[in-house]
Amino acid sequence: MSEPKSLRVAYGEALVELGKREERVVVLDADLAHATMTKLFADVYPRRFFNYGIAEQNLMGAAAGFAHAGLIPFASTFALFGAGRAYEIIRNAIAYNNTNVKIACSHSGISVGEDGGSHQSVEDLALMRVVPNMTVIAPCDPVEMRKATLAAAGMDGPVYLRVARPVVANITDPADPFVVGRAALLKDGGDIALVSTGLMTERALKAAETLARQGIRAAVLHLHTIKPFDKEAVRALAARTGGMVTCEEHSVIGGLYSCVCEALVGHVPQGYRVEPVAIMDRYGRSGKPEDLFAFYGLTARDIAARAAGVLV
């Protein structure tokens, strides 16, 4: 396995790799290159890097212009500023025209840590998912972050990549296939289904280990793609398990839990329970990432307890 690293570092390294492969790749940032790690690309390809300063709307509008000129722009900033402040430009200048722009937003979720609730985007997946033409991807580890970045470059149309800040271990293998829109079954089990995305997938796997010690066989289905959503994989898993728990570092509204419920309505028997482990319609707050995961009930222990409760 590759060494642990931040997803933002894996993203920056993937950009450098892309820059060597494809001369049409350009990278845009909003005066945060040292935080988003687009500086890695800027150091190698300075003539293909553009800093738009603290002007995220201009950043996204310019990215649309680069795409219309035949280039492949990656526009990066913090998730709150990209998905939030520049939302209308993303909607009308990028997605409305199905423009080939890749939006990679770092510092997503509460794992931003001490920056606090004003900078912790817990609604970005919902905001991007509701936009027509947008593909939405939330990788779980550095290996998958690289694959997602390369895959985004090869797609035609707008893509939103959710990039996390903390250093995390690799839980997937470089040889594992990565197909946009297709879920990955990381662990099989017939009692309970743990459906996860982003940084919560590692926690779901640890929860499955805890449940196994209790005699509960938990399957872990990783949804790296929030849109298009792999409804069939979720329905197939529901058909052979006694309940489901969704796991996301995002608001319970509009993200993974919503996707799963939309996929299952009308496809599961009455009484089949789907319970969320998510941020329950609240803002973030300042603190160390792991302390915040505990405060908001997003730990492996929380997932295991919720799963055991579903089966009662």
Q: Which two tokens stand for residue 194?
A: 């743990």
H or E element: which one contains 76? strand 72-78
Asked if pLDDT for residue 2 goes beyond 80, the answer is: no
Q: If you average pLDDT over residues 259-270, what whole number do you get?
A: 96
Contacts 24+ apart (CB under 8 A), 264-267: 264/234, 264/235, 264/238, 267/235, 267/238
User: What is the structure's pLDDT at 1?
Assistant: 57
**The one-letter amino acid at 63:** A
Rounded Cα distance between 302 and 260, Å, is 19
Q: pLDDT tens-digit profile of 178-190? A: 999 999 999 999 9
Residue 178 Cα distances to 163, 255, 294, angstroms: 17, 21, 30
User: Rounded to two decimals, what is the model's pTM?
Assistant: 0.96
For residue range 149-165, list pLDDT tens digits in order: 999 999 999 999 999 99
Coil, helix or strand for 101?
A: coil
Active site residue 56: yes
Helix, coil or strand: residue 26: strand
Residue intervals of the chain classified under CATH 3.40.50.920 are 184-310
CATH 3.40.50.970-classified regions of the chain: 5-168
Q: Could you say which of 17, 22, 56, 248 is catalytic?
A: 56
Domain covering 5-168 assigned CATH 3.40.50.970 in the classification: yes
Q: Check if the beta carbon of residue 251 is closer than 8 Å to that of residue 80.
A: no
pLDDT for res 113: 83
Please tell me whether residue 99 adopts helix, strand or coil conformation.
coil
CATH number of 184-310: 3.40.50.920
